[in-house]
Amino acid sequence: AQRVTQPEKLLSVFKGAPVELKCNYSYSGSPELFWYVQYSRQRLQLLLRHISRESIKGFTADLNKGETSFHLKKPFAQEEDSAMYYCALSVRGQNFVFGPGTRLSVLP
Amino acid sequence: DAMVIQNPRYQVTQFGKPVTLSCSQTLNHNVMYWYQQKSSQAPKLLFHYYDKDFNNEADTPDNFQSRRPNTSFCFLDIRSPGLGDAAMYLCATSRGLAASYNEQFFGPGTRLTVL
């Protein structure tokens, strides 16, 4: 079965510092990987996905099949980035599996 | 604004008393999903509909059923809620299942309390 792990439940960084939220997955084939974000009192929403290969709000994520990872990175964290971040995996558009989430706190 | 709506936002039921949660969408999306999210845990997919085709996750208990009478509405029925079913229930939609179409749009959730 597919599995997504996010080793950090909470990550605190100072404003302007680089941030990396880790995500590893277990699946032997070619999955689709996503990052979803939930800001305070808002709905869960898509941040980015690996097939798009784009930067959203300064965040990027690269799929590394060798390491089965899809880490989320931003060079300079902003206070408004504070949120809950979920890594998710899908197989052929189905079987969506979410990781347990990492709460990012950006300190002033 | 086109969106995903869940009613009610908070639902209290008694142990063993059937309960129905409602989701509607104005996005005209083909796919509707139901997730269960317990405190401090990941959202867990229960099932999804692609149009009228129902797809149940292998480990979803039989106690959970779903209905989709039309494109706009989808219901989650819990036949005999147990204390372990207390959770946030999230509804989501997507245009399709294929890559580029499967971005999910989530509702605000319904928090279910079982007494």
| pLDDT tens profile A73-102 | 999 999 999 999 999 999 877 778 999 999
Confidence class for position A2, pLDDT limits 50, 70, 90: confident
Q: Residue A30 has what pLDDT? A: 82
Residue B13 carries which DSSP code?
Answer: E
Hey, how many other C-beta atoms are within 10 angstroms of the C-beta on A82? 17
Q: Residue B88 has what pLDDT? A: 97
DSSP result, A18-74: -EEE--EEE-SS--EEEEEEE-TTS--EEEEETTT---BTTBEE--BTTTTB--EEE
Q: Residue A83: beta bridge partners?
A: A104
For chain B, the maximum distance between any two Cα atoms, rounded to a whole number of angstroms, is 42
Could you tell me the CA-to-CA distances from A31 to B59, B99, B114 in Å, in that order?
A: 20, 10, 36
Residues above pLDDT 90, as percent of chain B: 85
Hey, how many other C-beta atoms are within 10 angstroms of the C-beta on A64? 12
pLDDT at A60 exceeding the cut of 80: yes
Rounded Cα distance between A102 and A86, Å, is 7
Interface test with A, best of B41, B104, B110 (most A CBs within 10 A): B104
Confidence class for position B2, pLDDT limits 50, 70, 90: low
B26: left (phi over 0), alpha (psi -120 to 50) or beta: alpha
Region B78-107 average pLDDT: 93
Q: Residue B111: beta bridge partners?
A: B10, B88
B39 inside 8 A of chain A by CB? no
Burial B22-50 (b: 16+ CB within 10 A, else e): bbbbeeebbbbbbbbbeeeebbbbbbbbb
CB-CB under 8 Å, B43 with A44? yes
Higher pLDDT, A74 or A30: A74
Rounded Cα distance between A96 and A91, Å, is 7
Rounded Cα distance between B80 and A63, Å, is 42
Instruction: Please name the residues in contact with A104: beta carbons below 8 A apart, sequence gap of 6 or more.
Output: A11, A12, A13, A19, A21, A77, A81, A82, A83, A84, A85
Distance from the first to the final alpha carbon of chain A? 41
Which tokens go with A33? 């990987």
Rounded Cα distance between B54 and A78, Å, is 42
- Distance (Å) from the C-alpha of residue A31 to the closest C-alpha of chain B? 10
- Distance (Å) from the C-alpha of residue B96 to the closest C-alpha of chain A? 8
- Distance (Å) from the C-alpha of residue B90 to the closest C-alpha of chain A? 9
User: Using an 8 Å Cβ cutoff, are A2 and A8 in contact?
Assistant: no
